[in-house]
Amino acid sequence: MEKTKKIWLDGELVDWEKAQVHVLAHALNYGTGVFEGIRVYPTSNGPAVFRLKDHVKRLLEGAKVMAFDVKFSYDEVFEAIKDTVRVNGDGVDYVKPCFFLGGEEVGLNPINVDCRLAITCIRMGSYLGEGAQEKGATLITSSWKRPWNMAAPAGAKVNGIYVTSCLAKREAVERGASEALMLNAQGNIAECSGENIFIYKRGKLYTPKVTDSILEGITRNSIMEIASDLGYEVFEREVSRIEAYTADEVFMTGTAAEITPVSSIDNRPIGDGKPGPVCKELQDIFHRVVRGEEPQYSHWLDLVG
């Protein structure tokens, strides 16, 4: 990660080093925040934010789930994100807005705790490491389960929920893998620590449905639409580990990871252990889409200006 010059904090652009909160901030102690991860891509018309409208909508929906008293409108958040990207220059490729309870509070009660908004830009590069998108990522099934809807708002990007994802990611890295596959309460595949997952089997694409304790990913949605436009049949349904082990192809989608093929799960090669043609085709068109080279998807891009 490469830090940038300015962070947008509660309506002001401040120096990176001055974007601070108190150690007793409620969000720091109890995880009471919601966030988004959003990609910025170079196009022939300048930097563009990918599916910004959808990300801002999901961010505000997450704040609603958490019952935050948000002081900024949709339009204000939308423009603030573009302002933050613009001021930090062409090197930015990732932006993270976060509503969080920033008031100083000891105790779980979140009512009447001040809600703040921070927007941070960075240079992330390849999230899963150089070469992962070309060679494929290795997965292990984590012992940590994806939080399910009876225990937490699994469909919102709530800061505290990602503690489990961090534990799963640590487990994967310590076991020599790229990423962790997380199961839900029913023992079926939910998602990875920070990515949705697809399998391609017998000529069809499958991905866990929204009620399987997944985040309804925006990149996931994009790939479902692109794949359908290319003529693939795409189904949202329960997906088992066995189906993933025996799939012709498996790949992950996410804002940070974009589209990354999976070469193995639990030391079992997927297909021949190399990225398959379906994933490669979707990767190719996705990379053209985000750079403004596919006019039918141009509505997904918001130029920074």
What is the CATH number for 276? 3.20.10.10
Domain assignment of residue 30, yes or no: yes
Could you tell me the CA-to-CA distances from 203 to 228, 232, 247, 277, 283 in Å, in that order?
Answer: 13, 8, 10, 12, 18
Domain assignment of residue 300, yes or no: no
Same domain, 164 and 262: yes
Mean pLDDT of 106-111: 96
Domain assignment of residue 29, yes or no: yes
CB atoms within 10 A of CB 111: 7
Assigned token pair, 92: 């930015």
Assigned token pair, 180: 């962790």
User: Is the confidence at residue 129, as pLDDT, over 90?
Assistant: no
Mean pLDDT of 133-158: 95
pLDDT at site 125: 87
* pLDDT class of 128 with cuts at 50, 70, 90: confident
What is the CATH number for 20? 3.30.470.10
Same domain, 39 and 69: yes
Q: Report the chain's mean pLDDT, rounded to a whole number.
A: 96
Same domain, 104 and 43: yes
CB atoms within 10 A of CB 170: 14
Q: What is the pLDDT of residues 40-52, one digit of tens each?
A: 999 999 999 999 9
pLDDT at site 287: 97
Separation of alpha carbons 198 and 258, rounded Å: 13
Same domain, 107 and 203: no
Mean pLDDT of 77-87: 98
Same domain, 283 and 142: yes
Same domain, 109 and 204: no
Look at residues 123, 156, 176 and tell me which one is the last residue of a structural domain: 123
What's the CA dihedral at 135, 259, 148, 109 to 10 degrees?
110
How many domains in the chain?
A: 2
* pLDDT class of 130 with cuts at 50, 70, 90: confident
User: Is the confidence at residue 90, as pLDDT, over 90?
Assistant: no
Same domain, 56 and 185: no
Domain assignment of residue 149, yes or no: yes
DSSP assigned state of 104: B
The residue length of the chain stands at 305
pLDDT at site 132: 87
Q: What is the pLDDT of residues 189-214, one digit of tens each?
A: 999 999 999 999 999 999 999 999 99
**Domain extent at residue 59:** 2-123
pLDDT at site 3: 87
Mean pLDDT of 41-70: 97
Helix H or strand E encompassing 50: strand 46-50
Domain assignment of residue 296, yes or no: no
Active site residues: 157
Separation of alpha carbons 234 and 158, rounded Å: 28
Mean pLDDT of 255-279: 97
User: Is the confidence at residue 63, as pLDDT, over 90?
Assistant: yes
Mean pLDDT of 60-65: 98
Separation of alpha carbons 183 and 20, rounded Å: 36
Percent of the chain with pLDDT over 70: 100
Same domain, 143 and 286: yes
Domain assignment of residue 204, yes or no: yes
Separation of alpha carbons 180 and 160, rounded Å: 18
Same domain, 113 and 162: no
Same domain, 10 and 41: yes
Look at residues 55, 90, 123 and tell me which one is the last residue of a structural domain: 123
